[in-house]
Each structure stands twice: as C-alpha cells, then as structure tokens.
Structure 1
Amino acid sequence: MKQDQPESSIVVCPDGPLIVRGDFEIVTPSGLPVPRDRQTVALCRCGASAIKPYCDGTHKFTKFRSGPAVQEGPAPEDG
C-alpha cells in the first residue's frame, strides 16, 4: 500500500454496500473472526444478502435506499 494512503478505508456507496479496503478484521458479535480472502470487500447494508455480512447485490432488486446522500467535500487532513 502507498504511504500516502490510510491502512484501511470505508467507502459508503449510495443505496449500496460499504466498500472496505485495507488491513482490517471482521468479527461476529461473539468475537469470532469472519473468514475473508480479499483485501477489499463489500459489506451488506440492506439486510437482504444471502452471504451476509458480504453484499451479493440484492440491494438492487429490493430497491434499498440508504437515505439522504452523504455530503461530499474536501477530504479531512490528518492532524
């Protein structure tokens, strides 16, 4: 990973999943690790995925809406 990029990042996709990139661990409510084999994953937000916690695209068929759009502006600076 480039030095100017964070170790991990989360992108909120409008009406879709959370795209998580980088070095992170996903765990169940009891703390057990959830297997993953990729550096980048899409996490379900609609609740209808057959492969939770991962997104399978079902949000498109259920017409999931995430609510008001996130306001985009300049990226925050590390300080």
Structure 2
Amino acid sequence: MTNSNGSTGGTPSIEAYPDGPLIVRGHVEIVDSDGLVIEPQRRTVALCRCGASLIKPWCDGTHKLSGFRTDPVDHD
C-alpha cells in the first residue's frame, strides 16, 4: 500500500503513552494552527502532550522532568 506521500504502510494509529507523548504510526497529516502541513521526518513520531517540549509539536522528553501525569482512563 502506498500513501499519498509515497511511503508504504498500513492503517495509521495513535497511542497515548501513560504520562508521556502520543505515538503516531503511519501516514497522517499534521497541521499547525496556521493551517500549514508539518511534514514528519519519520513514519513513527511522538507528539508532545505536556506542553513543555522545546520542539513542539514533537516530544523532546521534557514530560519526564516536568512531572506531567495523565489520569488513568476507565475503559468500562
């Protein structure tokens, strides 16, 4: 399967890591607040959820130092 950017891969997925970033796998279009498309450099990227990353929208690991915590999700 070839995606619109020419890369191959399956269905895109997004996984929320506890107390960490969103891991995005596969081709997805990431758009900034001005409507400009941000081209990821890899097929798997980590998006910041804590707001403290110096390289937003990408995660730089700052959540570990900032004490960022997510609430457990009840899937029942």
Normalised-by-shorter TM-score class: 0.7 to 0.9
Specify the alignment match of 1:48 in structure 2.
52
Equivalent residue runs for 1:60-71 within 5 Å = 60-67=64-71, 69-71=72-74
- Measured against aligned partners, the alpha-carbon deviations of 1:4-49 in whole angstroms (never above 9, x if no partner) come to x951001110000000001111111221011311000000000000
Q: Which runs of 5+ in 1 are unaligned?
A: 74-79
How many residues are matched? 69
Compute the RMSD of aligned alpha carbons.
Answer: 2.1
SS in 2 for 1:30: coil
TM-score by length of 2: 0.80
- Measured against aligned partners, the alpha-carbon deviations of 1:40-69 in whole angstroms (never above 9, x if no partner) come to 0000000000000000000000110012x1
Partners of 2:27 and 2:73 lie apart in 1 by 24
Specify the alignment match of 1:29 in structure 2.
33
Percent of aligned pairs sharing the same letter: 58
